[in-house]
Amino acid sequence: MQLGFVIDHSRCIGCHACTVACKSENQVPVGSFRTWVKYTERGTFPSVRRSFAVLRCNQCSAAPCVTICPTTALKKRADGIVDVDSSACIGCKSCMQACPYDALYINDESGTAEKCHFCAHRTEVGLAPACAVVCPTEAIVPGDFHDPNSRVSQLRATGNLTARKTEAGTSPNVFYKEVDPAGIDPARTSVDGGYIWSNVKQSPQVDTQLWESMQVKAEARTTYDVPRQPMWGWRVSAYLFTKSLAGGIFLASAVLFRSWDQVGGLTAKSAALAGSVALAFLLATLVLLVADLKRPERFLLMLLRPNWTSWLVKGGIILTAYAALLLAWIAMCAYDWLPGSGLRSLLAVLTGLAAGLSAVYTAWLFRQAKGRVLWTWELLTGHLFAHAIVAGTAAMLLMASWLDLGADAQATLKVWLLGFLAAHLLFTWLKGHAYIPKRREAEFRRALAVMSKGPYARRHLWVGLFGGVLLPAILLVWGQPGPLWTTAAVLALIGLWSEEDVFVRAGQAVPIS
């Protein structure tokens, strides 16, 4: 059984009755929507055509929100409905990033995610969803797509229906008849002409559309829509940065090991100090992750009822394992345990592996966020590893005097920092030329343009690349150990923070509904 909708836009009159009925039936908060009507217009006066598009959750057969949810709060029911168990939701907002249809929102009162659930309480007693019942033109047709005799199956069999973003691989179960393509494809429209009944609420997505309208005129105008704001902000950017430092500092200190049986370029005390700094950044990462939850008091649900398909759960386990291994490493170095033992080598290898996984697992989490195509770049794993080495080597250079690093050790760190700054630059270039997500190339290039040419270009080019890569490289090559190398390390860290923050924000700046 797979319940879904066919929405007949040859009948829709844009009256918003479906929106009002949904809000009344399900007590949807003011400012949030489970179903909404988008208005688009084509042409110029007096030859103007207005079209409507009813947008909502697509009850996907391969629902990415279910895959990414860390606590199994989102489930695909036997009748095909994707529903939310609010008692299990921790408010991480990852489902909102995974959905390519902007179908979820956070209820500010409960701090939990909500969405269209096909009026499951009505469906279970044989009633149609409220939106379908109230529609005055019967434009909203609910039914079971697995029943060949249902009206929705018969309409679909005609072959005259379209669906939203099938290229995302979600297998949506909401189909449209005679809908204007601009209504279901946000790349075709812009808000540069303003709304008909209200002001356009400022947001990064609006800034993106206004910038794009100065480059190429969109084929249609959006004249009514619901407002959208990015869900992940500075805490997620800071989490990426502190995680790069946490993993990178240990990996950078490993560069100074003369062998796996001794700490070479570092004294045992200095190795313990470096490990302690890495642990402090790791703890900061965990604090940031919990602080970004809308229901932080529920964070233990990730362990008590984990969804093992979610990289939020797997990432949490990786971070916890890394913390335990770091503690053991610090204790071993501080108290000179296991000198010359093979166990010491094994601990170093395991801690290094955990450090590397901590640095890169976010790439696999972001790949589950199918709503934000910029984040799904296939080489992001390598790029995040380069970020970690840049962060770690720069931090070690900053701590050189504190860690009693000699000239040889600093020179080694300099070489590694230069090498991975170059790798960071190469990955940045490759982002626009290789391994672009298949079937979503246009959407990916649109998001990339926002970062490299649009509203975030100044930070990306001047702070991230010039100030964070080229200038530090110049200071490291032509400068001497001391203030110039310290300045280079500071600039590299500032540039890295800016790049990771821009990446998070630009990924959410492209409209997806």
Residue 10 half-sphere exposure toward CB, CA atoms < 13 A: 5
Mean pLDDT value of segment 28-36:
96
What pLDDT is attached to residue 338?
62
* Ordered DSSP codes for 43-57: EETTEEEEEEEEEE-
The pLDDT confidence band at residue 1, using thresholds 50, 70 and 90, is very high
Mean pLDDT value of segment 104-125:
97
pLDDT at 263 over 60: no
What pLDDT is attached to residue 259?
45
Provide the 3-class DSSP secondary structure of residue 251: helix
Please give the Cα distance from 88 to 309 (Å, whole number): 16
Average pLDDT, rounded, for the chain: 95
C-alpha dist (Å) from residue 252 to 139, 220, 385, 415: 61, 52, 12, 11
pLDDT at 277 over 80: yes
pLDDT at 265 over 70: no
Q: Where are the alpha helices (DSSP H) in 175-267?
A: 181-184, 204-215, 234-255
Pairing between β-strand 189-190 and β-strand 112-114 as defined by DSSP bridges: unpaired
- 314-345: pLDDT as tens digits: 999 999 999 999 999 999 888 877 666 678 78
Range 11-17 contact pairs with CB under 8 angstroms and sequence separation of 24 or more: 11/137, 11/138, 11/139, 12/37, 12/52, 12/54, 12/137, 12/139, 13/52, 13/136, 13/137, 13/139, 14/39, 14/50, 14/52, 15/136, 17/131, 17/134, 17/135, 17/136
- 419-438: pLDDT as tens digits: 999 999 999 999 999 999 99
Please give the Cα distance from 102 to 403 (Å, whole number): 49
- 478-509: pLDDT as tens digits: 988 889 999 999 999 999 999 999 999 999 99
pLDDT at 262 over 60: no
What pLDDT is attached to residue 399?
96
The pLDDT confidence band at residue 261, using thresholds 50, 70 and 90, is very low
The domain segmentation of the chain, as residue ranges, is 3-190, 234-507
Percent of the chain with pLDDT over 70: 98
CATH class, range 234-507: mainly alpha
Provide the 3-class DSSP secondary structure of residue 4: strand
What pLDDT is attached to residue 264?
52
More confident residue, 340 or 121: 121
Among 506, 495, 386, CA closest to 457: 506
What pLDDT is attached to residue 340?
61
The pLDDT confidence band at residue 21, using thresholds 50, 70 and 90, is very high
Query: Alpha carbon 316 to chain centroid distance?
Result: 16
What pLDDT is attached to residue 255?
84
Mean pLDDT value of segment 112-119:
98
Q: Does domain 3-190 have CATH number 3.30.70.20?
A: yes
What pLDDT is attached to residue 345?
80
